[in-house]
Amino acid sequence: MNPQDRNNKSILYVIILILLIFNLGLFYLWQTGKTQNNKLTNSNKSLEASVSDKNKAIAAAEALLEQYKSDSVTMAKNNQQISSELAKSSGEIARLTFLLKKNDKNSQGIIAELNAQIKQMSEKLARLENENAELKTRNSELKSINMDLNSENNSLSAEKQKLKTLAARLTSSEIRVETLKKQFITRKETNTNRAKGVEALRISFSLVENKIAQKGEREIFIKITGPEGTTLMNEGQGGVADLMDGKSVKYSYKTSVVFENEAKQIPATIWKPTKKLTTGKYTIELYTEGYLMGSSAIDLK
């Protein structure tokens, strides 16, 4: 090999070596850039995850604080007070939320603390809502029981008043009915059971003792019913009396008595029919203050 060929060959080796070194440098630079790019990508992903966690924590905190506010208003309407423990938790969550919004850097520590507070307060609010639901159910049951008791009490009161009213009624005894006529010659009054001969009815009765009844004057309505079932009435004497059940009754005449809680014999009253009586049964009923005091009957031939 001549000297010229040897020189060319040496130059070729040098060029190959330079190219090899150059390629190795390029490969090193490419590998370094790839590593840095991966680090940057991972860093961006980590930053994005941190921002997402931050936004989620803030949204959860604000929703929980709104729920706390709503529950506080509801409890205030029911004259209930929120616990100091819950109030303290809400204040801490509000503080951490403020710090998280203000801090633009990585806030994983604040996020973790806020999430822990949110979890604790959520559990407390859930227990409180369950307790309030149970309390509402019990209150509803107690209200229902109270309404039943009030209804029963009103019923008992009404029944008691009814019994008292019944006990305070006046009753009559010994209702005596005499059919009278005057003798033709002496003109003295005498009894008769002949319907056509009756000129007057003499009615007398006694009031039974009653310590519950109110003292005072009473109107006594006297109803005389003939055989045909009609009330005998003279013009200007009879009328209509109202009864407690909303009905009414015709009466033949009325009189007044003074009651003083003691048994009392009432003076006889005289009623004279303007028409001749007919044969049959006659019923005499006494009414006062809307109820029947007593009754009696006679048969005329």
Q: What is the pLDDT of residues 208-218, one digit of tens each?
A: 887 877 888 88
Domains of the chain, each with CATH number or no CATH: 3-139 (no CATH), 172-300 (2.60.40.10)
Give the residue ranges of DSSP H helices in the chain: 3-77, 84-102, 108-167
Q: What is the pLDDT of residues 92-151, one digit of tens each?
A: 777 777 777 777 555 777 777 777 777 777 777 777 777 777 777 777 777 877 787 777
Least confident range of 72-76, 129-133, 191-195, 281-285: 72-76
In the predicted model, what is the mean pLDDT of the chain? Answer: 77
Rounded to an integer, the average pLDDT of 72-93 is 70
Question: Which pLDDT score, from 0 to 100, does residue 253 have?
Answer: 92
Question: Which pLDDT score, from 0 to 100, does residue 96 have?
Answer: 73
CA distance 163 to 156: 10
Q: Is the pLDDT of residue 161 over 50?
A: yes
CB 227 within 8 A of CB 278: yes
Q: Is the pLDDT of residue 4 over 80?
A: no
